[in-house]
Amino acid sequence: MARALIHMPATARRGEVIEIRALIGHPMETGYRPGADGKIVPRDIIRKFVCRYNGEQVFGAELHQAVSANPYIGFFTVATESGTLEFTWEGDNGFAQTEKMNLTVSAP
């Protein structure tokens, strides 16, 4: 299980723009580098990141070889209603990880 750290406010007012920061531990091996034995190390990267807010996708990203190891993704969304934000990373070799965070939205 890779480690993931998500930073976002636990509470927000309706209509407020909130910042979300997601950091995950992953080698992001490009598939271009030779290993110690001279053979090419097979590619192992995260290919897709999606954030769903109560089931609806609010942010998505495609990742490629040029992205560094332990990718950090920061983005914004508008707080509409209380609920759960679900973060999913998917990648090579069947890599899949999901994290959930709760958000409580109060009247503006």
Partner 1 sequence: MKRAVIAAAVICCVAVAALADERRSGAEFMGASTQAMQRDDTLNPGMLWVSGGELQWKTAAGASGKSCASCHGDAGKSMRGLAARFPAFDHVSKRTVNLNQRINMCRERRQQAPPLRAESEELLGLEAYVAMQSRGMPVAPPQDAGTRASAARGKQLYLQRMGQLNLSCAQCHDEQAGKRLAGSTIPQAHAAAYPIYRLEWQAMGSLQRRLRNCMSGVRAEIPGFGAQELVELEAWLAVRDKGMKMESPGVRP
Separation of alpha carbons 95 and 103, rounded Å: 26
Tokens 């910042």, located at residue: 19
Count of beta carbons in the 10 Å neighbourhood of residue 101: 16
Q: Does 28 bind partner 1 (CB under 8 A)?
A: yes
Q: Does 100 bind partner 1 (CB under 8 A)?
A: no
5, 40, 78, 96: residue in contact with partner 1 (rule CB under 8 A): 5
11, 72, 81, 100: residue in contact with partner 1 (rule CB under 8 A): 72
Pairing of strands 56-62, 11-13: unpaired
Which residue, 56, 55, 61, is CA-closest to 90? 61
Based on CB atoms, which residue is closest to partner 1, 4 or 61? 4
- Contact set with partner 1 (CB under 8 A): 3, 5, 7, 21, 23-25, 27-28, 68-70, 72
